[in-house]
Amino acid sequence: MKKLLLLFFIACLTTAHSQLLPPDEQWVEQTLGSMKLDEKIGQLFVPVHTTMDRTSAWIRNHHIGGLWFARVEAKAIAAELNALQQISKVPLLVTVDFEKGAGTYVDGATDFPINMALGASRDPALVYQAATVTAREARALGVHVNFAPVMDVNNNPKNPVINTRSYGENPQLVATLAEAAIRGYQDHGLLATGKHFPGHGNTGTDSHAHLGVVSSDRQEFESVELLPYKEVLQRSKPSAIMTAHLWIRAVDNDTIPATLSPNAMSGLLRQRLNFDGVIYTDAMVMGGITTRYPYDVATVKAIQAGCDVILFPGNLELGILAIKNALAKGDLSEQRIEESVRRILRIKTRVGLQQQRIVEIPQIESLVGTAEHYAVAKRVAAACLTLAKDTGNLIPIPAAKKILVLTMSNKEGNSMVSRGLVSFPEEVRKHAATVTELQLSDSLRNEEIESALIKAREANIVLVGAYVKIVLNSGTVDLPAHQTAFLKQLTDRNPNTILVSFGNPYIGASVPFIPTYVCAYDNARALQETAAEALFGKTPFRGKLPVTVGGTMNYGGGIQTR
């Protein structure tokens, strides 16, 4: 392990994208001066790349400033990005949501434990290392902007969309780890984006579906939601900020999303916090906007409020037309458009796009998803795992025991930020002589319940891997009631039951009858592998809860083992 980490850091020193560059103001002004109005307007839009034909047409006809992509294969997306860059007059900014590494969306890339797991480590150095790997892999693929880190303070356990994407409930912890992530990204050539300004943690609403509300009073807002931004913007200077489609009552008396609020964007972020980087809207197709505003109206209001980039335009042509109409009516000025374009061009020079926009595809295999990078993910995982309680004294598990491994989920398949990987049973098999496995459906059919209860009676230890993950527009990230009832039946049948949460840690509050509870926070392969090792005493539990779970498992809690 130490040898792999040494090789990794040597590689970091020699990577082609070692750091962000100083802005090239001459190129910015020359490029801006040569642009027609249509080209300037196009720079304000970043749509989702789905097909080459569609994105190529957007580049040729509408001069888009960048694009975003989702789940892809590494060499394929790099080749597509190279081709798209070659047809764009002004180089494109390629943006992503690599919140937990490039493996979030790219096949074969490194998938790190999610932010709340990193919060359990309490270790800024590990956060920096994870961000370094992410930056190296992203730049190798042709990516320039990461919509990370999440800087939301998750002080509402019922938050259905932030949850484990946050570092935790403590504002100072969030600030410290977010700053480490930003430095890790930007020291290695990847533009960082703090989100979701001015704070998305204290709400029970998924802004993908509806306009949520943060009801904190001014004092609480300043000391909780805003604290990470105040501290980070003073020191680490992220290149961009992404907005929240939430009504912040401490900022606006009227019901308005922060994205469209001049008080939030111009008053608070630009003037008071002195941020002069790029402001990205959150996706403009989300219900927090579309349930209240026509798309063309929202587009203009976002720019008027102080945003620079319209992310995921619901209708690109309509958005561009809306900007043109606003210019014609005097609701926007060309000077205001140029302010945003200048910021966008400036960060393009910081990643050297005026000099080099093409990546070397043959190098991807040696830079993305390497053994050295996975060694870093394993090191992070080892610091994150949290033994929240062990009233049953079941840890460590003797290898000779008969083990039943059950896996269950609130939704099968991929979630918003995690792949549908279930490798825990095979990892357990590496450490125990006798293992029986049952993968349960999310609906829990009667025959599955009966089979599980019979097998539980025959086992010495029952291990339950719960994959309770963020599901967009579901309104909840809780353990479903029928699954909670099943776990009660299971524990009654065999009290030697251990629950491992590979997702939402708050589910522990709904199953107080479970004697031993482990928080892994996420289903990254490194976490599932390390969880099995820790359960059998091969590696210690070192993590500390970054959130409060119910009334008995407090922030900072966690049994440390040797």
- 107, with CB counted inside 10 A (0-12, 13-18, 19+), is middle
Contacts of 205 (CB under 8 A, 6+ apart): 160, 211, 212, 213, 246, 475
- Among residues 469, 480, 473, the alpha carbon closest in space to that of 503 is found at 469
**What's the pLDDT score for residue 416?**
61
| Mean pLDDT score across all residues of the chain | 95
Q: pLDDT per position in the chain (562 positions), as tens?
A: 444 444 444 444 334 456 899 999 999 999 999 999 999 999 999 999 999 999 999 999 999 999 999 889 999 999 999 999 999 999 999 999 999 999 989 999 999 999 999 999 999 999 999 999 999 999 999 999 999 999 999 999 999 899 999 999 999 999 999 999 999 999 999 999 999 999 999 998 888 888 999 999 999 999 999 999 999 999 888 999 999 999 999 999 999 999 999 999 999 999 999 999 999 999 999 999 999 999 999 999 999 999 999 999 999 999 999 999 999 999 999 999 999 999 999 999 999 999 999 999 999 999 999 999 999 999 999 999 999 999 999 999 999 999 999 999 987 666 666 677 889 999 999 999 999 999 999 899 999 999 999 999 999 999 999 999 887 767 788 899 999 999 999 999 999 999 999 999 999 999 999 999 999 999 999 999 999 999 999 999 999 999 999 999 999 999 999 8
Confidence at residue 205, expressed as pLDDT on a 0 to 100 scale: 84
* Amino acid 235: pLDDT: 87
**With helix as H, strand as E and coil as C, how does 226-280 read?**
CHHHHHHHHHCCCCEEEECCEEECCCCCCCCCHHHCHHHHHHHHHHHCCCCCEEE
Residue 506: DSSP 8-state: G
Give the model's pLDDT for residue 1. 47
Identify the pLDDT of residue 206: 83
pLDDT tens for each residue of 189-243:
999 999 999 999 999 888 888 899 999 999 999 999 999 999 999 988 899 999 9
Find out whether 383 and 542 touch, Cβ atoms under 8 Å.
yes
Contact predicate 64/42, CB 8 Å: yes
Give the pLDDT confidence score for residue 71 in this predicted structure: 80
Which domains does the chain possess?
17-366 (3.20.20.300), 385-535 (3.40.50.1700)
Per-position DSSP letters for 330-391, written without gaps between them? TSS-HHHHHHHHHHHHHHHHHTTTTT-----GGGHHHHSS-HHHHHHHHHHHHHH-EEEEET
Res 11: pLDDT? 46
